[in-house]
A and B are shown apart, each in its own frame.
Chain A
Amino acid sequence: MNRKMVAFFVGRVLRIEAALMLLPTLVSVIYLESEWIYLAAAVAISFLVGLLLSFRRPKNVSFYTREGITAVALSWILMSIFGSIPLWHAVGHIGFTDALFETISGFTTTGASILTEVESLPKGVLFWRSFTHWVGGMGILVFVLALLPGASGENIYLMKAESPGPSVGKLVPRVKSTAKILYLIYIAITITEMVVLALTGMPVFDAAVITFGTVGTGGFAVTNNGCAAYTALQQGIITFFMIVCGANFNVYFLIVAKKIKDAVKSEEVIAYLSIYATAVVLVAINIRHMFPTIGEVIHHSLFNVASVMTTTGFATADFDRWPNFSRTMLLLVMFIGGCAGSTAGGIKVSRIVIGFKTIKKEFEHLVHPRSVRILKFENKPIEHAVLRGVNVYFLTYFTIFALSVLLVAFDGKDFTSTVTAVIATFNNIGPGLKMVGPTGNYSQFSAFAKYVLMFDMLAGRLELFPMLLIFMPTTWRRQR
């Protein structure tokens, strides 16, 4: 373990975070709020700590998988701590735990809130809360990779540790250029949505905040009732962009590179859209009596399924009051989540597809014990390591899930609330059912349960293993 190099990277991340926090500070100054001082203080503190950690590039630059994983996990924890400074101080009544919960929920694009009412927050802080979605959506280390010059060796390890999905592919030969392309696509989508929403008459501040919530698939909104206050057209636009950001960004790269044929053939995106369409139809049939017109039924079904499946967590209606079938359906798509290489959370469509193919292969093997079949995904044979990774992922996923439910159950809340709170945070969605439903929030949990849920959010965003590995003593041992 090369601790100096890890510290160096964490320092870089904190410096970038300081730079990113300048934007909400500016917003705060524009709105003439007195709270800008807290944002500015947060900028100063993270910059100084960052500078201290990354003042000089260490002499020993060996950087392998374990350093990459540790750097990513530590960066996320530290940037959440520093990012919570504005919330902690600017919002009078919440403590450090709550501020940290809110910030982690932001960075991991969960959107689970402990705030009982959002409207009274200063604009600058509100902006920062949603901006964390945007930063966390594509990943801050990917951002660092895109911006900073560095030796090439270490980059692939960082990207591997932060990017969602079973196997990380580069778009172009260089990690740096890949990161740049991803961020350019991301920024283009962001600006498009912001402009379109503003054109429909949404206030510019709202448009920005909602856009960050959508493209990062986070779910923090401007008001407590999420997106219910907006017009059907605006909700439609938001639905569209949620779906766009839940799809694999490689597809957009293929489109930009004029390989439309390959883009259309993407197995994962086809599966993703099919699952979405099926869920929408089933939910729509189930809730057909709850709204006056068929148009509204379809509209709400489209919005809420998209919101839950892409793990955004906006709501136009309180789906907690929907019939049991729809609620269960929504819980199921929560687990599936978006595509690999998107900003969404969950298990990821590609893992589900690969998982099903493995099951099918096993069936075939039972019938024809000597059958040989190479599994293919996206027209390529699946490597053994990837298959094994997917299987282990499922195992680990459900182990963490069960343990978290057990720990949160100490609080003595009802079963549905407890389980869906874990589902909603672990898959980075936000709202669950009952107490933590679209109209509820997480404020009533004990500090202990909140820390468990924070761990779940980080583990869910970073694909489980980085958060587990930093607890292993062998990771930290100095190499001899």
Chain B
Amino acid sequence: MKIIIVGCGKVGSTLAEHLNQEGHDITIIDRHQEKLKFLSEHIDVLGVEGNGASVSTQREAGVKDADILIATTNSDELNLLCCLIAKKAGNCQTIARIRDPEYFNEMRYIRDELNLSMVINPEQAAAAEVARIIKFPSATKVDTFARGRVELIKLTVPEGSKLDGLRLHDMDSKLGCRVLICTVERGDELLIPHGDFTILAGDAVSFIAPHSVASAFFKASGTKISNAVRSIMLIGGGKMSYYIAKMLEETKISVKIIEQDFEKCQSLSEMLPHAVIINGDGTDKQILDEEGISVVDAVGNFTGIDEENILLSLYEKSISKAKLLTKINRITFEETIAGLDIGSIINPNSITSDHIVRFVRALNNSRGSSNVETLYKIAKGRAEALEFRVRDDSKVVGRSLRELNLKPDIIIACIVKGNKAIIPDGTSVIEKGDFVVIVSGRLGLNDLEDILA
């Protein structure tokens, strides 16, 4: 695909590198000749100097034939403007990076009204990643459908989990919640399970569920209790800490934030009534000990300085067994940092670029096949999860699933009606305008009707 990236900062250049490796044609727009030159000498991309929001620059970069424009400059407003203009000057999908929480809270409106394909907030994405690590410690992979309303989660079933030895028919009664298991990888084998299938420890299980159900499922299936995080201390009260605290509000995890700046503490406390906000220097050993650094289950070192975060993590490692999260902004010394035993490395920029790459991949996979909205390859490409939008003249409309004669190896994993995602059973009916997520062991489905035998 032809992709234009506006702004070659950390996210822009990481994106360019990854997308280039995946075989896309990348053109980068930036104001700074020097940066462009450096980048286009290291990566096989075309650089165009100029203001990304100007039509003539975009035309020079070939917006007319472009498939996607990704705006990752420092300014939210500029990013939005770039996307708006690209939408008019060419006819491409647009992705904008929006940082300001004020805009981000109105994200849905902005996205729908400005016709953006994707809006991403690095801090929020990183926070979601942290929340996922804390909430679903055993999930290995998460993809999203229906604009983030439904998640495709893969997890490896650990020894001693409630899932070990569970028959799928009994899931509802034993766990009190139900998700649809789409594929199971057992050794080298890929299985599309039926009701009488029994899960064993060591299976890599992929399932599709709305977010709330997924977390309920994780809770109910209860991997080792001792693993569960009940309290977390966040050092540094930046945007990321705010988002994490916000996300963890509904859970029973208690959050404590240490922040140096008094005014910031005040506003955090106003926005996060459930969290404990401590005004103090997070790098002060005494304050950390006083606040019980040695007894919390998890510590997030999210100050603005990489070196501080690393040092803090090393210190915490030496005094406690808490799960450690370390924010690193610069990824230049990735290998060295990975070699240090400091838990999970959180890099907002690379998380952002991962999200965008994943989106582009899904878009690329679904191109050409007219009705597919999103497509993920699962289980090393041996199965596909596809999202379809239902047209009114489709043969599957208006009949309950029980009445439909489906091909074997096909599962209707989820139906999204408006804002609500449901896990279907035999009585569910597909209606016009719904999004339907299908998991299939046979590759190359092009239309929803292809699922009928």
Contact = CB atoms under 8 A, between A and B. Distances in A.
Contacts of A155: 44
A383 B44 CA distance: 20
Interface residues of A, number: 12
Contact of B45 (A173, A176, A383): A173
B46 interface: yes
Given A152-B20, A383-B33, A173 B41 contact: no
A360 to B, nearest CB: 23
A172 B41 contact: no
A173 B42 contact: no
A174 B44 contact: yes
Given A177-B25, A383-B33, A170 B46 contact: yes
Interface of A: 152-153, 155-156, 170, 172-177, 383
B25 A173 contact: yes
Interface in B190-218: none
B88 to A, nearest CB: 20
Nearest to B41: A156
B371 interface: no
B43 A153 contact: yes
B27 interface: yes
A175 B33 contact: no
Nearest to B45: A173
A156 B40 CA distance: 8
B43 A172 contact: no
List the 7 closest A-B pairs by CB distance, nearest first: A152-B44, A173-B46, A173-B25, A173-B26, A173-B27, A170-B46, A175-B44
A157 to B, nearest CB: 8
Counting chain B CB atoms within 10 Å of each CB, the highest count among A153, A155, A177 belongs to: A153
A153 B42 contact: yes
Given A173-B2, A176-B44, 6 more contacts: A152-B20, A152-B21, A152-B43, A173-B25, A175-B44, A383-B33
A378 to B, nearest CB: 13
A156 B2 CA distance: 19
A156 B42 CA distance: 8
Interface residues of B, number: 15
A172 B20 contact: no
Interface in B38-61: 40-46
B33 A173 contact: no
Contacts of A177: 25
A44 to B, nearest CB: 34
Contacts of B46: 170, 172-173
B25 A174 contact: yes
Interface string B1-27: 010000000000000000011000111
Interface in B264-278: none
B420 to A, nearest CB: 42
Nearest to A160: B41
A177 B25 CA distance: 9
A155 B27 CA distance: 17
Contact of A156 (B21, B33, B44): B44
7 contacts: A152-B20, A152-B43, A153-B43, A155-B44, A156-B40, A175-B44, A176-B44
A182 B37 CA distance: 22
A250 to B, nearest CB: 13
Contacts of A156: 40-41, 44
B64 to A, nearest CB: 11
Counting chain A CB atoms within 10 Å of each CB, the highest count among B25, B26, B44, B46 belongs to: B44
A170 B27 CA distance: 11
A173 B3 CA distance: 10
A114 B26 CA distance: 48
Nearest to A262: B60
A428 B43 CA distance: 33
A172 B40 contact: no
Contacts of B41: 156
A2 B156 CA distance: 43
Nearest to B44: A152
A287 B382 CA distance: 77
Contacts of A174: 25, 44
Contacts of A383: 33, 37
Contacts of B43: 152-153
A176 to B, nearest CB: 8
